[in-house]
Chain A
Amino acid sequence: MAEIYYSEDHEWLAVEGSTAKVGITPYAAEQLGDIVFVELPDAGRNVKQQDEVAVVESVKTASEIYAPVSGTITANNEALEDTPETVNEDAQGAGWFFEMTLSNPEELASLMNKSAYDEFVKGL
Chain B
Amino acid sequence: MNRYTQDRATRPKPTQNSAKFASALLQEEGLLYEVGHANTSGVDLEVLTDQPDRLGSLARTTPTGLVGLSEPETLRHYVRLSQRNYAIDLGLYPLGSCTMKHNPRLNEKLARLAGFADIHPLQPVSTVQGALGLMDQVSYWLLQITGMDAVALSPKAGAHGEMCGMMCIRAAIEEKGELEQRKRVLVPTSAHGTNPATAAACGFVIDEIPANAGGRVDMAAFRAKLGPDIAAIMLTNPNTCGLFETDIKEIADLVHEHGGYFYCDGANLNAIMGKCRVRDLGVDAMHINLHKTFSTPHGGGGPGAGPTVLSSRLARFAPLAFVTGDRATGFALAEHPEQSEAAFGRMCAFHGQMGMFVRALTYMMSHGGNGLRQVSEDAVLNANYLLARLQHEFSPAFAGTCMHEALFDDRFLQGTGVSTLDFSKALIDEGYHPMTMYFPLVVHGAMLVEPTETESLHSLDQFADTMLELAKAAKSGDVTRFTQAPLTAPMRRLDETQAARNPVLTWKP
Residues of A bordering B, CB below 8 Å: 34, 36-37, 57, 59-61, 84-85
Identify which of residues 485-501 in chain B touch chain A, using a CB-to-CB cut-off of 8 Å. 496-497, 500-501
Distance A85 CA – B498 CA, assembled complex (angstroms):
10
On whether the beta carbons of A36 and B438 are closer than 8 Å, the reply is no
Residues of B bordering A, CB below 8 Å: 421, 438, 441, 496-497, 500-501
A36-B501, A84-B501, A85-B501 in contact; A61/B496 too (CB < 8 A)? no
- Nearest opposing residue in chain B for A57, CB measure: B500
Closest 8 CB pairs of A and B: A36-B500, A34-B497, A60-B438, A36-B501, A59-B496, A59-B497, A61-B441, A59-B500
Q: List 19 A-B contacts (CB under 8 A).
A: A34-B496, A34-B497, A34-B500, A36-B497, A36-B500, A36-B501, A37-B500, A37-B501, A57-B500, A59-B496, A59-B497, A59-B500, A60-B421, A60-B438, A61-B438, A61-B441, A84-B501, A85-B497, A85-B501
- Nearest opposing residue in chain B for A36, CB measure: B500
Distance A34 CA – B497 CA, assembled complex (angstroms):
6
Distance A26 CA – B225 CA, assembled complex (angstroms):
33
Distance A15 CA – B136 CA, assembled complex (angstroms):
66
B-chain residues with CB within 8 Å of residue A37 when the two chains form the complex: 500-501
A-chain residues with CB within 8 Å of residue B497 when the two chains form the complex: 34, 36, 59, 85
Q: Looking at the assembled complex, report how far the CB atom of B395 sits from the nearest CB atom of chain A, in whole angstroms.
A: 15
B-chain residues with CB within 8 Å of residue A85 when the two chains form the complex: 497, 501
Distance A84 CA – B500 CA, assembled complex (angstroms):
11
What's the dominant secondary structure at chain B's contact region? helix
How many inter-chain contacts with C-beta < 8 Å in the A-B complex? Answer: 19
A-chain residues with CB within 8 Å of residue B441 when the two chains form the complex: 61
Q: Looking at the assembled complex, report how far the CB atom of A36 sits from the nearest CB atom of chain B, in whole angstroms.
A: 4
Distance A60 CA – B447 CA, assembled complex (angstroms):
13
Distance A41 CA – B43 CA, assembled complex (angstroms):
55
Q: Looking at the assembled complex, report how far the CB atom of A67 sits from the nearest CB atom of chain B, in whole angstroms.
A: 16
Distance A37 CA – B500 CA, assembled complex (angstroms):
8
Contacts A57-B500, A84-B501 supplied; 14 other A-B pairs, CB < 8 Å: A34-B496, A34-B497, A34-B500, A36-B497, A36-B500, A37-B500, A37-B501, A59-B496, A59-B497, A59-B500, A60-B438, A61-B438, A61-B441, A85-B501
Distance A36 CA – B501 CA, assembled complex (angstroms):
5
Q: Looking at the assembled complex, report how far the CB atom of A64 sits from the nearest CB atom of chain B, in whole angstroms.
A: 10
Q: Looking at the assembled complex, report how far the CB atom of A32 sits from the nearest CB atom of chain B, in whole angstroms.
A: 10
A-chain residues with CB within 8 Å of residue B421 when the two chains form the complex: 60
Q: Looking at the assembled complex, report how far the CB atom of B197 sits from the nearest CB atom of chain A, in whole angstroms.
A: 11
Q: Looking at the assembled complex, report how far the CB atom of A120 sits from the nearest CB atom of chain B, in whole angstroms.
A: 16
Q: Looking at the assembled complex, report how far the CB atom of B441 sits from the nearest CB atom of chain A, in whole angstroms.
A: 6
Q: Looking at the assembled complex, report how far the CB atom of B361 sits from the nearest CB atom of chain A, in whole angstroms.
A: 38
- Nearest opposing residue in chain A for B503, CB measure: A36
B-chain residues with CB within 8 Å of residue A34 when the two chains form the complex: 496-497, 500
Q: Looking at the assembled complex, report how far the CB atom of B327 sits from the nearest CB atom of chain A, in whole angstroms.
A: 50
- Nearest opposing residue in chain B for A52, CB measure: B206
A-chain residues with CB within 8 Å of residue B438 when the two chains form the complex: 60-61
Q: Looking at the assembled complex, report how far the CB atom of A37 sits from the nearest CB atom of chain B, in whole angstroms.
A: 7
Q: Looking at the assembled complex, report how far the CB atom of A108 sits from the nearest CB atom of chain B, in whole angstroms.
A: 25
B-chain residues with CB within 8 Å of residue A84 when the two chains form the complex: 501
Distance A34 CA – B438 CA, assembled complex (angstroms):
14
Q: Looking at the assembled complex, report how far the CB atom of B224 sits from the nearest CB atom of chain A, in whole angstroms.
A: 15
B-chain residues with CB within 8 Å of residue A57 when the two chains form the complex: 500
Q: Looking at the assembled complex, report how far the CB atom of A52 sits from the nearest CB atom of chain B, in whole angstroms.
A: 10
B-chain residues with CB within 8 Å of residue A61 when the two chains form the complex: 438, 441
- Nearest opposing residue in chain A for B496, CB measure: A59
Distance A57 CA – B496 CA, assembled complex (angstroms):
13
Distance A50 CA – B441 CA, assembled complex (angstroms):
20
Q: Looking at the assembled complex, report how far the CB atom of B264 sits from the nearest CB atom of chain A, in whole angstroms.
A: 25
Q: Looking at the assembled complex, report how far the CB atom of B234 sits from the nearest CB atom of chain A, in whole angstroms.
A: 18
Q: Looking at the assembled complex, report how far the CB atom of A21 sits from the nearest CB atom of chain B, in whole angstroms.
A: 24
Distance A72 CA – B19 CA, assembled complex (angstroms):
59
- Nearest opposing residue in chain B for A60, CB measure: B438
B-chain residues with CB within 8 Å of residue A60 when the two chains form the complex: 421, 438
Distance A57 CA – B500 CA, assembled complex (angstroms):
10
Distance A57 CA – B501 CA, assembled complex (angstroms):
10
Q: Looking at the assembled complex, report how far the CB atom of B448 sits from the nearest CB atom of chain A, in whole angstroms.
A: 14
Distance A84 CA – B501 CA, assembled complex (angstroms):
8
Distance A2 CA – B496 CA, assembled complex (angstroms):
37
B-chain residues with CB within 8 Å of residue A59 when the two chains form the complex: 496-497, 500
Q: Looking at the assembled complex, report how far the CB atom of B194 sits from the nearest CB atom of chain A, in whole angstroms.
A: 13
Q: Looking at the assembled complex, report how far the CB atom of A55 sits from the nearest CB atom of chain B, in whole angstroms.
A: 13
Distance A85 CA – B497 CA, assembled complex (angstroms):
9
Distance A37 CA – B421 CA, assembled complex (angstroms):
20
Q: Looking at the assembled complex, report how far the CB atom of B434 sits from the nearest CB atom of chain A, in whole angstroms.
A: 14
Q: Looking at the assembled complex, report how far the CB atom of A9 sits from the nearest CB atom of chain B, in whole angstroms.
A: 13
Q: Looking at the assembled complex, report how far the CB atom of A12 sits from the nearest CB atom of chain B, in whole angstroms.
A: 21
- Nearest opposing residue in chain A for B419, CB measure: A33
A-chain residues with CB within 8 Å of residue B500 when the two chains form the complex: 34, 36-37, 57, 59
Q: Looking at the assembled complex, report how far the CB atom of A81 sits from the nearest CB atom of chain B, in whole angstroms.
A: 11
Q: Looking at the assembled complex, report how far the CB atom of B494 sits from the nearest CB atom of chain A, in whole angstroms.
A: 11
Distance A60 CA – B500 CA, assembled complex (angstroms):
11
B-chain residues with CB within 8 Å of residue A36 when the two chains form the complex: 497, 500-501
Q: Looking at the assembled complex, report how far the CB atom of B206 sits from the nearest CB atom of chain A, in whole angstroms.
A: 10
Q: Looking at the assembled complex, report how far the CB atom of A57 sits from the nearest CB atom of chain B, in whole angstroms.
A: 8
